[in-house]
Structure formats: C-alpha cells, structure tokens
Amino acid sequence: MKHSNKKEYASFLLERLHREIERPLTVMEVCGTHTVAIARSGLRDLLPDKMRLLSGPGCPVCVTDDLDLDLVIALSREKDVILATFGDMMRVPGTESSLLQEKSRGADVRIVYSPADALRLAAENPSSQVVFLGVGFETTVPVVAAALEQAIEMGLENFSVYSLHKLVPPVMRVLLEDPEVKIDAFLNPGHVCTILGTGPFSFISEQYGKPCVVAGFDATDILEALLLIVRQYREGRPSVEIQYRRAVRPEGNPVAVDYIEKYFQPVGARWRGIGEIPESGLELREEYARYNARLRFPVTARLRKRKKRCACGEVLKGLKLPYECPLFRKVCTPARPVGPCMVSTEGSCAAYYRYGKKK
Ligand code: SF4
C-alpha cells in the first residue's frame, strides 16, 4: 500500500500495531537519539496499552559513573593541563563539583566539537598538555582513533586521550541477566549498528530468545521497528532484524571496527547504576600507552556522599521512569540538574522534561 505522506504512513503503522499486538511487550531503546525521537514525537501516548517503551543506558554522558567524573574533575585541576571535552560533560555534577565549576575556579577546560579540535588545541599550545575526554559508544571511537593517528603522525607529544568510551552489547547482556529488569525486546541503536552491524547482537535472540530490531530515527522508522518486534513475537521467531536499511548493513563497517581495534582494547568499565561490567569499555592499547591520559596523569579522587539522591541509575536500567524520581521537575531541572540524565540533551530525564510525556 502506498502512502502519500509520513503522517498517513504513521497512522497506518499505528493501526497495524494496535491490531496485531497479542501480548504485553516491554521494549527498551538503548540510544539517546531514540529516546529524544520517541519523546518528541509523542509516540508513547499513541501506542497500544499493551506496549511499553523504556529508555535504557543509551546516553554515554548519563552512564558515566560518579568516580570517573570525579577523576576527570581532579585531572582538570592538574597544572598546565587543558581538558578538551564535548559540551554535555561540562555541567554533569560529580559528587563534589563539575567541570563547569572547575572552569569558573580557573581550570582550563575547553569545549570542543570533535577530537580534531582537541588536536588543534595541542598544536597551538605546545607548552600545555591537552587531554581529550573520550565519552561515547562505538560510533564515536573511530574519530578518536583517527585523531590519535594524526597526533602520532604530527609528533604531537602534548596530546593524550582519557578514554571513558563504552561498548553497547555487554551492557545489553547485563540487563538481560538482571532479574529485576523485565525486557521483551530491544530497539537497537541505529548509529552503533552502522559500525558494528548485527553480529554482536545475535546473542540476544539466540541465547535469550528476545527480538531486537535496528531502528532509524524518524517516528515511522520506530513504528516500523516496533511492528517488526510484534510480528517476531507473533511468529515465534526472535531474531536481529534491520529496519534502518538505508544506513545499516548486517556486516556493519569493518573498516571502522578495524580502526577501533588498532588503537583500543576492551577493558572493564564502570556504568552508572549498573556497576563494573567486564570488557565493556575501551582503553588505549599498550603500544599507544604514552597517549593514555590515565597513565600520564595518575590522579585520584575521593567519592563523596551526594546530598541529593539522584535516581539516574534506576532510570538507566528501566526500573524507574524519570517522573517517578521525587526530584524530577521539583528540584531537578535542565537549568539546575541533579544528575546527568537531566543534563545531557540525550538523557531520559531531559527528554521527559522537555516533551512532558508522562506515560
Ligand atoms: Fe537524577 Fe534528576 Fe533524573 Fe531524578 S530527575 S533521576 S535527580 S537526573
């Protein structure tokens, strides 16, 4: 059937979803861009009552653990260090301070839009040490690897990377193993899958019997993906499917993966609210250790007890919806965020706050 416009097609997909869903389904998205797209389009209010959408640990800023934040804040206080970071990290509160507060106290923290900007800073400031704060999932890492390669070619010895990069498949496995977390299917992150393809996610259907569908970012993409999930359940054939065919191939982007593997190796990483997950982070390989800011600046931090209890950990596991946090809107707002999920533009709390969805 042909549809003259997206609105008409969305109505058609919604009608199919309402008609075809047979059992209650809880679907988790693990991508901040999906979180925002779902909130902005108001999809939750239009879906069948049997379908529940949860936001998972899909925002790299939000999943950064307090201890890692405090360590980065300690690093920003080091003499002659310029800390280069994406803007979202500036206002994320650690247990004592934030990078923005440190900047106001004199730390040299600069907002950059890419690792290449950080390289330029290093070239322009030879008497300072420029540390690029690497925060992101598989999608971000190839550009960091490219910057590193360029730094090596340029002989830039005052550039290093503090890697807080994280990998998505291991955290999905942890959620599936968690008896508290009830998920029937995943909307797979479209951007991450452009790099990884579908292979690293096949365990979800093969070992756990759950569907997962790689979705694009339009409302109709998401609805199509949800319909594919419903049909997988109806037909009893859980698998990894690609709805986002215009960008994702089953094999992903092997060149980008090789690039990641050339410079980085998997290591254990701390995830907010979830804890340490083996092989879920990326660290520079030993042969590039001299570009590893963690080794170049072995700072320590003492975790302090937070005055206000943020429920980001539970929100990231899908155990709480943002408005179920007692601080939501009353104490915690984008202007005065208590936790990272309210700071980041891709955070669940910020998306719920901005688009006002309660369901
Ligand atoms: Fe944390 Fe604020 Fe979200 Fe509550 S509303 S979980 S305090 S970020």
DSSP line for 255-272:
HHHHHHHHHEEEEEEEET
The residue ranges of every structural domain in the chain are 1-305, 312-355
Joined together, the tokens standing for residue 194 give: 């452009």
Site residues for ligand 1, CB cut-off 6 Å: 310-312, 315, 322, 325, 327-328, 332, 338-339, 341-342, 349
- Separation between Cα atoms, residue 34 and residue 26, nearest integer Å: 15
Measured in Å, residue 146 CA sits from the centre of ligand 1 at: 35
Prediction ipTM score: 0.99
115-128 residue pLDDT tens: 999 999 999 999 99
* Phi, psi angle pair for 156, to nearest 5°: -80, 100
- How much is the pLDDT for 356? 75
Which ligand 1 atom is the nearest neighbour of the CA of 312?
A: 6
Confidence bin at 349 (pLDDT 50/70/90): very high
For ligand 1, atom 8: residue with the closest CA: 339
Q: What are residue 132's DSSP bridge partners?
A: 84, 161
Tell which CATH architecture fits domain 1-305: 3-Layer(aba) Sandwich (3.40)
* Phi, psi angle pair for 16, to nearest 5°: -65, -45
Long-range contacts of 14-18 (CB under 8 A, 24+ apart): 14/46, 14/47, 14/223, 16/227, 17/47, 17/48, 17/51, 17/223, 17/226, 17/227, 17/230, 18/48
Nearest CA among 338, 296, 339 for reference residue 316: 339
Query: How many C-beta atoms lie closer than 10 Å to residue 287's C-beta?
Result: 9
Among the residues of 178-216, which ranges form H helices?
190-196, 202-208
For ligand 1, atom 3: residue with the closest CA: 349
Average pLDDT for the chain: 93
- Checking phi first, is residue 318 left (phi over 0); if not, alpha (psi -120 to 50) or beta? left
278-308 residue pLDDT tens: 999 999 999 999 999 999 998 888 877 766 7
Q: What stretch of H or E contains 85?
A: strand 81-85
- Separation between Cα atoms, residue 146 and residue 260, nearest integer Å: 9
